[in-house]
Amino acid sequence: MLQILIIGFVTGTQRNRICSNKCGNVPIPYPFGIEEGCYLDESYYIECNPTTQIPHLNVSRIFPQPFEFLSHPLEVLEIDINGNLRVNLPIVYRCYSKSGETISGPTTEISTSRFPISSTENRFMGVGCDVEANIGVHNPTMVTKCLLDCNYFHGAIKNGSCMGRGCCQASIPPGTTYAGIYISLPENKTTVWNETRCGYAFIVEKDEYKFDNSELRTMPNNVSFPVSLDWSVGSTRCEVAQMDKVNYMCHENSVCYHGELGLWGYRCKCSVGYNGNPYIQNGCQDVNECESEELNDCLPGYCKNTYGSYNCICPSGHQGNAKIGGECIPVEPHSKPRSIIEGICEGVAGAAVVMIFVYYVAKRRIRANTRKDFYKKNGGIMLQKTLFACKDRTNKAEIFTEEELKKATNNFSDTNVIGQGGYGTVYKGVLANKTMVAIKKSKVIDQGQIKQFVNEVIILSQINHPNIVKLIGCCLETHVPLLVYEYVTNNTLSHHIRKHPVLAFEKRIKIAKETAEALSYMHSTTQIIHRDVKPSNILLNDDFTAKVSDFGISTFVPIGETHLSTFVKGTIGYMDPEYFRTCKLTQKSDVYSFGVVLLELLTGTKIHSSDIQLTEYKGVGAYFTSLLESGALVQVLDDQLKREEYVDVVKRFIEIAIKCLHLEGKARPTMKEVNHELEQIRCILLSIIDEST
């Protein structure tokens, strides 16, 4: 058994000495190092083999005797100064020998307590026939199963397909620092495994492995794959770390940001206009934008570099616009004597210009003061502390002016309205850079609306998930606060299941699975309860990728708390009856609402409509349980789901929905458990569709 244990804490800064910064062809940037005094602490030590010049993470320096079993080194492939550490991890395998004995590979457990396994860059993979590849994350009892079924028809196994036929895959939750990997073999080892004798499981970067069905028989047991780890420094958030002047790691010309959710500590990044290593003194050096035409927008030869930026300046004796598209024009000297009348006219004209200038300066000052007032009223002080704390240029929300958004929406024309809800109107707009966006404008101006606006910005600024709508920016200088989102092209789930009921079954399960994954991420990683889960708040892209939206009434749950006592808010019909009765909001309230969404995906109609009568039952869950037990479920199913081959899959789908709709919250599953069950159902359905084609 191989364990990889990486821990550490910030104890100081790099010493003033010359350090080797490369092992073979791999650069080793500080806080990592290969020599004593050249790394932050033992967690960041890289061992450079003097013979092979291959760098390794060697944790034997961190753990003395009797922890010999932790000392196996990890080959380092790359260390990115922006927080990515790539290493090689071997596969886990389990085989039957010809005599029927079990042979297992050496690697079964991975623990990276300092550096989490990246959830966005890696996947858990299984390869084999009639086996289970399992990965337990954080705790071995929390198991994600990857089911492999070949059905002995190897011709039906497709190269490049990893949906359960010979190959399967599963995602890794954010912040994972422990993974126990193991494989379950079939019991009938003599007759079943006459051709394929091994099962394999491994973690790999998502683009570094493509399944080939020949690997069912020939995959080498000693192969390893690249895996991305996230790294950071310190053990606190930026706000706290910046108060420790001795151990704070971000040096001059750099900023602090928090990186991925679930990541320990913080990261540093060179400020805009600077480049280099922010973790060492003078590590961030000014970028001379004037050396490359790609880095500036000046006319050739008219760029002047400044610290952290540049200016486009016309040369002496010229005036005009020195940026691309502009022109610098020579200034002609006055050679002709001026008359008295000309002088008087110029004086009057000059006075008029001064008066106009003073008027416009005063007007601009009034408008600026008005914008400042709006900024404060719109929650700008609170937003500034949260939204702009992260200086990551790739994720930072943009601040728009009112004029920019007016131009983008044709002055908020009614023809650009794409949605209206209880808390605002949504407009479609096109920014100056041709980016299509959705702009949310609050309906009513009162303190409650402002709090909802601030709440939504704070929540969305901390979420980065492919199935949650992305916040692009906001505008605070208007009478009504505005939010700017990515534009999701294919309307809402409500639109498709009620107005256009032609969604194929596999698309419905895909949408349900992706929505469950987003809610599970919110509950487990960000401690957020959505509070208004319904089809009209689930947006769809052209490829029917689901994106959860509208966080106006969402709320954080403090760590260690199981519920919040709040005023009841939400949409009737989707609201948890236990929450409605007790005013106690829990994560299981979202689970109930999601259960209603599942039923609407099955029936193609609004559950609390006149088409479905619930008066004789004790809730929607009881109603569908009775239909299931009496064999009458087909009466309310959407026509798309009444095919004979879907019977078992539909039954499992409705059973999940019924569990979610239990009247007692504690009896409902978690969103993580729902997500896992939907993943299994989706694999089964895709296998059925694959066989029918």
Provide the b/e sequence for 105-114 (b: ≥16 CB within 10 Å): bebbbbbbeb
Answer whether 256's CB lies under 8 Å from 241's CB.
Answer: yes
Of 555, 599, 547, 549, the closest CA to residue 573 belongs to 599
Is position 532 annotated as part of the catalytic site?
Answer: yes
Of 683, 672, 675, the closest CA to residue 649 belongs to 683
- Measured CA to CA, the distance from residue 64 to residue 62 in angstroms comes to 7
- Measured CA to CA, the distance from residue 311 to residue 85 in angstroms comes to 37
- Decide: residue 619, CB within 10 A, 0-12 exposed, 13-18 middle, 19+ buried: middle
HSE, side-chain direction, 13 A CA sphere, residue 57: 28
Which amino acid, one-letter code, is at 687?
A: S
Question: Can you read off the two tokens belonging to residue 649?
Answer: 């899959």
Any idea how long the chain is? 693
Answer whether 198's CB lies under 8 Å from 128's CB.
Answer: yes
Question: Can you read off the two tokens belonging to residue 122?
Answer: 């890696």
Question: Can you read off the two tokens belonging to residue 213?
Answer: 């069905």
What 3-state DSSP class applies to 88?
strand
* Phi–psi pair at 119, nearest 5 degrees: -80, -25
In sign, the C-alpha dihedral spanning 252, 256, 259, 262 is positive
What 3-state DSSP class applies to 250?
coil
Of 103, 291, 123, the closest CA to residue 197 belongs to 103
Answer whether 282's CB lies under 8 Å from 252's CB.
Answer: yes
Of 75, 83, 71, 99, the closest CA to residue 2 belongs to 71
Of 532, 550, 576, 638, catalytic: 532
Answer whether 168's CB lies under 8 Å from 126's CB.
Answer: yes
Other CB atoms within 10 Å distance of the CB of residue 454 = 20
Give the C-alpha distances (Å, rounded to integers) separating 223 from 49, 79, 92, 110, 264. 21, 22, 10, 17, 31
What 3-state DSSP class applies to 406?
helix
Which amino acid, one-letter code, is at 584?
A: K
What string of H, E and C letters represents the secondary structure of 427-479?
Answer: EEEECCCCCEEEEEECCCCCHHHHHHHHHHHHHHHCCCCCCECCEEEEECCCC
What 3-state DSSP class applies to 237?
coil
Of 35, 139, 27, the closest CA to residue 85 belongs to 27
What 3-state DSSP class applies to 13?
coil
- Measured CA to CA, the distance from residue 483 to residue 49 in angstroms comes to 53
**Residues contacting residue 257 through CB under 8 Å, at least 6 positions apart:** 238, 266, 267, 268, 269, 389, 390, 391, 392
Which amino acid, one-letter code, is at 360?
A: Y
- DSSP designation for 321: -
| Locus of tokens 């024309």 | 413
Residues assigned a catalytic role: 532
